[in-house]
Amino acid sequence: MLGGLAQAGTKALGGDRFSLLSVLPGAIVVTTVSVLVGAHAYDPGREMDLGDALPADHKLVTLGFAAVGIFLGGVLLRPFEMALIQLLEGYWPEGSLRGRVRPLAVERHRRLRDRAAALEETRAVLPPEPSSLTQLARFHRALAREGRIVERARRRGAKYSRDNSELMPTALGNTLKSMEERTGRRHGIDVLSAYRRIYPSVAPEFRQAVEEQLDLISVTSSLCLAFGAVSLAASPLILRLSWWTLVVPAAMMASALAYRGAQKAAQDHEELLKAVFDVHRFDLAAALHYELRTTAAEERELNSRITAFLIGNEPLADHDSLKDEPLTHPENTPPRPTPP
C-alpha cells in the first residue's frame, strides 16, 4: 500500500523524471531563508545564534516538520523552474526592464562572437633564419601561443549562432541556440520542431540519455538561480563583518560554478542530439508519410520544406512547397492499436 502511494505521489510530482534533485534548488532557498530568520540574521540588534534556528524542545519532532516543510517548499517552487530557466537563457519579455537591456546584452555577445571569429583566423608566424637554438625555441613558443589563441577563439565562437537574429543576451542562451542550429543545419531540420515528432520512434537508450542530459541542464540552471537567491537573502550578513559574511561570496561562487556547469552540460548535449538525428532523421519524413529520398541533397531539400511547414501555421493543403508532394502510405496504415 505504501509503495503504491509513493508511486502515485511520484507520478503526480513529475513521473519518472521526478527526483530529489528536482526539488533541491527550491529546498536550498527555503532552508537558507528559514535558518537566517531563525538565527536573527535580519535583526541587527541581536547576535546571530544558529542554535536559535532550531528550538531546544522536541528537536526530533521539529526536525521532522522542518524536513517536510523544506520538501514541500521545494515542490511548490518547482512549477516556476521553467520560467526561471528561460529567464537565465535570455527570454526576456519586451516592456520589462530586462527587455530594455536585452539589445545591449545581445550586442555585447555579437561583438564577442565577431572578435572570436577574427582571432580564429590563423596568423602567420614566420620561422627565423637558421641561427641559434634560442631563436628557434622562441619561435616554437610563439607558434604554440598562437595555436592556443586560435583554439580558445574557436571554442568561444562555437557558443554562438551565425545568424544575428538568433543571438541571445546570455551565455547559456547562446550556447543552447548554437547547439540547436548546428545540429539541425547538418540535415536541414529544425531541432525543436522535429524532435517532438520523432520522439515516439527514438531508441530508448537515446531517449533516456537525452532526458538525463536535459535534467542536468535544468538542475544546474536551477541551482545557479537558487544560490543567487541565497546570496541576496544573506546580503544583510555583509554588515556584520564576521565569519557569517563569508556566506554571501560562497553562495555567489556556487551560483557562478553552477552556471558554468549548465553551459558545459549544454555543450555536451550537442553531440548527443547530433547522434539522435543522424540515426533517426528519416523518421520525420516517414512519420509524415513522405517518400524517403535517396541522396543527401534531396533529403536536405525535403527536410527544409518540412521544417518550413512545421514552424509556420499555414495549412498543409495551402503550403506552396508541400501541397503537391505525393504521400506514401505503407500497409496497415494507420496502425491498429495494440490490445492491452
- The DSSP result for 67-122, as a single string, is HHHHHHHHHHHGGGHHHHHHHHHT-PPTTSHHHHHHHHHHHHHHHHHHHHHHHHSP
DSSP-derived 3-state class of residue 180 = helix
pTM of the model: 0.72
User: 95's torsion region: left (phi>0), alpha (psi -120 to 50) or beta?
Assistant: left
Cα distance between residue 238 and residue 245, in whole Å: 5
Closest to 193 measured CA to CA, from 330, 37, 312: 312
**pLDDT-based confidence at residue 253 (cuts at 50, 70, 90):** very high
Q: What is the per-residue pLDDT for 66?
A: 57
Helical spans, DSSP H, in 2-80: 2-12, 20-38, 59-77
Q: What are phi and psi of 328, to 5 degrees?
A: -120, 125
Closest to 85 measured CA to CA, from 286, 244, 224, 234: 224
Amino acid at 284: L
Q: What is the per-residue pLDDT for 257?
A: 92
Q: What is the per-residue pLDDT for 316?
A: 83
Retrieve residue 336's grid coordinates: 491498429
Least confident of 145-154, 273-282, 283-292: 145-154
232 vs 20, more confident = 232
Least confident of 130-144, 173-187, 285-299, 319-333: 130-144
Q: With contact defined as beta carbons under 8 Å apart, do 90 and 102 qualify?
A: yes
pLDDT at residue 11 is higher than 60: no
Burial zone of 261 (CB within 10 Å; 0-12 exposed, 13-18 middle, 19+ buried): middle
Least confident of 47-61, 164-178, 203-217, 267-281: 47-61
Average pLDDT over residues 105-118: 86
Spatial neighbors of 123 by CB under 8 A, at least 6 apart, are: 146
pLDDT at residue 10 is higher than 80: no
